[in-house]
Structure 1
Amino acid sequence: MPIPVLRDEEAKPQAEPTQPPEDEKKLLAEAKNGNTDAFGKLVQRYQRRVYTVIYRFVRNHTEADDLAQEAFIRAFKAIGRFDLRYPFSPWIYRIAINLTLNHLKKRRLPMVDADLERKPSADNPVSVLEQVETRRKVHAAIARLPLKLRQVLVLRVYEDWPYSQIAQVLDIPIGTVMSRLARARQAVKEELKELL
């Protein structure tokens, strides 16, 4: 199912949209009419989720905060073109993910894993070191994936998004999501053969 996109001035959906919840629809209508308080309520509703998705890509709290804020600013500026027949979440996720991917492309930022800073729960120092090293290798392998494969893997594995939501937000068919995910998993598996 297509979602509203900002590709051109008038994105034309090709299928019947899923209706947003009534309270969200009301907030969206008010925001389209310039009510900043209504838009602020939408931000409060989605801010944490948008931040989390962005953080999974950039692995830096400050950058994730900045990118999430920028995503909402862009959404606010474009809210007048938003089609009220659609829910807000796929649209804001699309803005956030596109912004994040563009940011990563410009900066060529590696995905640094904050999970590496966490101490594994084990009493044996050798086991602790092995766990840290394994985690580092897995995340390094994921960071080396092509961006198209990495974004699907991150959204499915880390964020536990259903295939349909990934397809909707990335504007690709579900079959493409599944094939990219399979290729990503295979690439990581190949790179980590010695660990398996």
Structure 2
Amino acid sequence: MKELDTNIRFTHKSLVEKSKAGDRNSQYKLYELYVDAMYNIGLRYLRIKEDAEDIVQESFVDAFRNLHTFKYESTFGAWLKRIVINKSINHLKVKRLALANMDDHDHHLTDEEETVAELPLALEKIKTGIQKLPLGYQQIINLYLLEGYDHIEIGEVLGITTSTSKSQYHRAKKKLVQIINAL
């Protein structure tokens, strides 16, 4: 299995290097390898098929245009994923879809936290619950739980403080548990 992983990494590195040199066939191969995953990420944030398609296309154009800055500090896929997420969030900002105002919700943090991971629920129920959250809560849940960003990174991406990210996450998580329990 390690040999397969090494071969995949080598193949992708080879494709990246050839793409850096301007080889259109290698760029197309990288596109084919990653387009579906990047579309799913864009769709998860934007929830509109056409917007996700546009963001993915723009992300690939930017990635190939700036490929010379890719230094293998992460995988190509992780680098591209970050581009897609940032573009998706910026697209939402342009549409003026702000984070849910914390004062509009009367959900408060308690010492007894319930976590989604502790609940024996089907994945579909959780996905449905996430889709029913206000957009700002969805963003925080997606970035923290699904994408693995920490609160400092979320703050940078969304242009909010780390403490706002933490409190939004806790409120989103609590609201998600309420939604799931009502399903």
Query: Does TM-score exceed 0.5, indicating one fold?
Result: yes
**Corresponding residue for residue 78 of structure 2:** 90
Aligned partner of 2:182 in structure 1 is 195
**CA distances 1:156-196 after superposition (whole Å, capped 9, x unpaired):** 66xxx4xxx5238x946xxx8x9565442114446x59938
Does residue 104 (structure 1) correspond to residue 104 (structure 2)? The answer is no
Deviations 1:20-45 (A, max 9, x none): 71110110111111112111111100
1:42 counterpart (30, 46, 49): 30
| Higher RCO by CA contacts (8 Å cutoff, separation 6 or greater) | 1
Contact kept, 8 Å, 1:28 with 1:84, in 2: the verdict is no
Percent identical: 27
Distance in 2 separating the partners of 1:95 and 1:85 = 15
The aligned residue for residue 73 of structure 1 is 61
Structure 1: which 5+ residue stretches go unaligned? 1-19, 111-134
Q: For residues 70 and 55 of structure 1, what CA distance do their matches in structure 2 show?
A: 14
Deviation of 1:81 after TM superposition, in Å, equals 1.3
Relative to structure 1, is the Cα distance of residues 23 and 64 closer, same or farther in structure 2, using a 3 angstrom cutoff?
same
> By percentage of residues, which structure has more helix?
2
**Aligned pair in 2 of structure 1 residues 91, 182: CA closer, same or farther (>3 Å)?**
same
**TM-score when normalising by structure 1:** 0.58
Query: Who is 1:142 aligned against?
Result: 134
Unaligned regions of 5+ residues in structure 2, if any? 1-7, 99-127, 155-161
Q: How many residues are treated as equivalent by the alignment?
A: 137
Aligned to 1:166: 148
Q: What amino acid is the match of 1:32?
A: K
How far, CA to CA, are the matches of 1:56 and 1:187 in structure 2? 18
Q: What residue identity is the alignment partner of 2:141?
A: L
**Contact (CA 8 Å) 2:97, 2:135: kept in 1 or not?**
no
